[in-house]
Structure 1
Amino acid sequence: EGVGRGKGFGLHEVMDQAGALAGPLLFAYMLIHFDYSRAFLTLLIPGALAMIFVFTAWSLYPKIKSVEFSPKKISFRGVGRRFWLFVLSMTLQSLGFVHWAIASYFLKYWGILGDANIAILYAIAMGVDALIAFPIGYLYDTIKFKSLYIAPITTLTITLLLTTRVTTLAYVMAVLWGVTMGVSETIMRASVADIAGRSRLAVAYGIFGMLYGVSWSIGGFIITLLLQLSAPIAIGYATLTQASSLLMLAVLNRQISSESPHH
């Protein structure tokens, strides 16, 4: 509290991605030099440390204002029109966001990269996600919802780069994929907290998480089919979804600007 939602979620994502990189590397090292049993036993160390830090945080901060709950019944009402505009925009974005599993499949299927290089690409994406999280969180605290424009733009560019089937551009695609995930894990979460308000925060996160996940799954099925059929059609689909997402974001930002005390 007092850090700023963007920077707070950014810091969380940095730590999350640091673990996402360090954990597999630690496991791989132990597996290469020893066996599965010792490799899995080694993971007890970060697991135990995580529990120690949780209990330490609980003892230092037993009550946190931002997570206080109300005994009221759960209701989907009252989250506001701005919240639904935000959810609509982000679900449209996720409909055209190529999941890494799909991107890596086509990188292999089209003969762009081999397994080892695809693994390196994923490490690059995760590294970028970690590096971008805090700066992008700071950007959100500065310009708020206007920072969300990044997501549809990078999402569309990912599809464009993937369909070129150029090896060098695949690395650029990985960088942009990491940026997009950084936006998703950082400023989208911060946006929910700012738009919904404390009394509806839990329900708002639940609604957003459910709809974003469902739309990403549906979009993954659609874009996989389209990439198999025709790259131009897949690009057209990505353009339509991301243009629609940008339009909804523009409506949202216009509404917020008109409601601000400066207008």
Structure 2
Amino acid sequence: MPDPSPENRQEVRDLSVRLILLLGAASLLGSLVSNGARSVTGPYLLLLGGSAAVVGLVAGSGELIGYALRSATGAYVGRSHRYWKVAMTGYGLLAAIPLLAVAGRWETAAVLIIAERIGKAVRTPARDTILSHATTTVGRGWGFGVHKALDQVGAVIGPLIMVAALALTGGYAPGFLLLGIPLAGVAVVLFLAQSKVPKPGRLEANGGTRENMDDPPVIIPYAAFIFLGMAGFASFPLISFHLKAQSIVPDAVIPLFYASAMVVSVMVALLVGRVFDRIGTHVLLTIPVLSTATVLLAFSPDPGVAIAGSLAWGAGIGIFETALRASIAESTAADRRGKVYGAVSAVFGTAWFAGSVVMGILYDVSIGHIVAYVVIVETAAVIAYLWMYRCRIAVRLQEEIGGLIP
């Protein structure tokens, strides 16, 4: 256990900051690789002979598998504490992206695309648990906010690299191969981070909070809030479909809407991190507001209003993923976080998948039906948050009373 002297605390803080920045750099490079490929996998599958149905199935299955598996990988990390080994294995599956250059058939490409999503499921609970230890001395919100911001920078740069490769070569293969360069950078950064902090749990000597979010009285209402909040959060593919189907903006402008949303998510992630450190989980209440604002604005026939909706969507991404991970770190004992990160990520992804399917079906009925659905779901999310808040207060009171009894 580290000496609690001021000098030692400053040393731990400095080491924690370096670890957060290194993991942020790894996520930036990894996001550059994955999002660079994901920006063109649809047309690439079509080029290889896949149908539109195949594209939808592969994309949807990859996301669902990528989130659902996190429950299992999170539980393994929680038991084994092999954070670095699991994280490196997950990042290693990014090697599937350069291999897309030689796929040849849509079936092979589909397997590689899903393999990359499985890698995301493997690495995320382990990486977030490492981050939770590193954010102890610097602020949960700030630490996760910085990490999310760096991750989103990669999400912006990756597609731009693929656009440049396509413009210069006219083919997809050179772009996929080019993404192998930042992939090598991921490996270098991860090995450097591991060498700096081989046992990240030591950054949190006291084991974290006594509260445990995986206890049923806490996790059930929390999971209900996450599920309802994400079930009403529109997906950008549906927003972009609307922009094209209604000819609201030219096709070439749609990627700029996405890039603008990602830029907003970077700025919001940094801001909400600081806000979280001041007001805690209450910042999550902005999600129902932003989810409702997104559908009211993004599905407008007016281009100016539609881009405002896209920016609201980007702000929601920055808030949800920053505050969500920080709240778990704040409310779960260190030795149980891997399990909770995995379980909550599975709920998060399943809800987003289910909500996207429902909104996609309702779009063919009317946009008004989507708005009504989101208003109902997000109202229920607010109720679930109040339920969660009351349960957490009750649990803390029980712990305090138990601590007073000899």
What letter corresponds to residue 22 of structure 1 in structure 2?
A: I
Deviations 1:194-226 (A, max 9, x none): 233223211111211112211111111111111
Preserved contact between residue 66 and residue 198 of structure 1 (Cα < 8 Å): no
Picking from 173, 181, 189, the partner of 2:309 is 173
Q: Which amino acid aligns with 1:20?
A: A
User: 1:84 matched to which residue of 2?
Assistant: 220
**1:203: which partner in 2?**
339
Q: Counterpart in 1 of 2:199?
A: 63
Q: 1:247 to 1:67 in 2, by over 3 A?
A: farther
| Structure 1 residue 25 corresponds to structure 2 residue 160 | yes
Query: In the alignment, which residue of structure 1 is the partner of 2:318?
Result: 182
Please give the alpha-carbon distance, in whole angstroms, between the structure 2 residues aligned to 1:142 and 1:184: 16
Gaps of 5+ in 1: 69-76
- SS of aligned partner of 1:97: coil
Deviation at residue 190 of structure 1 after TM alignment: 1.3
Which amino acid in structure 1 is aligned with residue 139 of structure 2? Answer: G
TM-score, with length taken from structure 2: 0.58
SS in 1 for 2:299: helix
Report the alpha carbon displacement of residue 55 of structure 1 after superposing the two structures with TM.
Answer: 0.7
| Among 130, 151, 156, the residue aligned to 1:16 | 151
- Residues 78 and 161 (structure 1), Cα distance of their counterparts in 2 relative to 1, 3 Å cut: closer
Aligned to 2:187: 51
* TM-score, normalised via structure 1 length: 0.88
Relative to 1, partners in 2 of residues 1:66 and 1:103: Cα closer, same or farther, differing over 3 Å?
Answer: farther
What is the aligned partner in structure 1 of residue 252 from structure 2? 116
Q: Does 2:263 match 1:127?
A: yes
Matched, 1:154 2:287: no
The CA distance in 2 between the partners of 1:197 and 1:127, in whole Å, is 33
Q: CA deviation at 1:78?
A: 4.8
| Mean CA deviation greater in 228-237 or 22-31 | 22-31
Mapped to 2, the partners of 1:231 and 1:150 lie a distance apart of: 23
Measured after TM superposition, the shift of residue 156 of structure 1 is 0.8
How far apart, CA to CA, are the structure 1 residues paired with 2:337 and 2:202? Answer: 9
Larger radius of gyration: 2
Contact 1:80 1:196 in 2 (8 A): no
* 1:208-258, Cα deviation, whole Å (9 max, x unpaired): 111221111111111111122122222111101001111111232344456
Deviation at residue 103 of structure 1 after TM alignment: 1.1
Alpha-carbon spacing, 1:117–1:244, altered in 2? closer, same or farther (3 Å)? same
1:42-94 Cα distance to aligned partner (Å, 9 max, x none): 323322222111111111111111799xxxxxxxx953422221111111011
Spell out, residue by residue over 1:131-155, the C-alpha distance to the aligned partner (whole angstroms, 9 max, x if none).
Answer: 1111111111110010001111100
The structure-2 alpha-carbon separation of the partners of 1:234 and 1:38, relative to structure 1 and needing over 3 Å to count, comes to closer
How far off its partner does 1:35 sit?
Answer: 5.7
> 1:138 aligns to what?
274
Moved more, 32-41 or 114-123: 32-41
Retained in 1: the 8 A contact 2:145–2:273? yes
Partners of 2:342 and 2:175 lie apart in 1 by 35
| Matched AA of 2:156 | L
Q: Which amino acid aligns with 1:6?
A: G
1:6 — aligned with what? 141
Corresponding position of 1:227:
363
The answer to whether the aligner puts 1:245 opposite 2:381 as a matched pair is yes
Shift in Å at residue 41 of structure 1? Answer: 3.7
Q: Which has the higher contact order (CA 8 A, sep 6+)?
A: 1
CA RMSD of aligned residues (A): 2.3
Which residue in the other structure is 1:73 paired with? none
Count of matched residue positions in the alignment of Structure 1 and Structure 2 = 254
Structure 2 residue aligned with 1:107 = 243
SS at match of 1:186: helix
Aligned to 1:192: 328
- Relative to structure 1, is the Cα distance of residues 30 and 138 closer, same or farther in structure 2, using a 3 angstrom cutoff? same
Unaligned runs of 5+ in 2: 1-133, 205-212, 401-406
Between the aligned partners of 1:215 and 1:237, the Cα distance in structure 2 is 14
Deviation digits for residues 10-38 of structure 1 (CA, Å, limit 9, x no counterpart) = 11111111111122223322332346454
% of aligned pairs identical? 28
> Counterparts of 2:271 and 2:263 in 1: how far apart (Å)?
14
Could you tell me how far apart the structure 2 residues matched to 1:13 and 1:141 are? 15
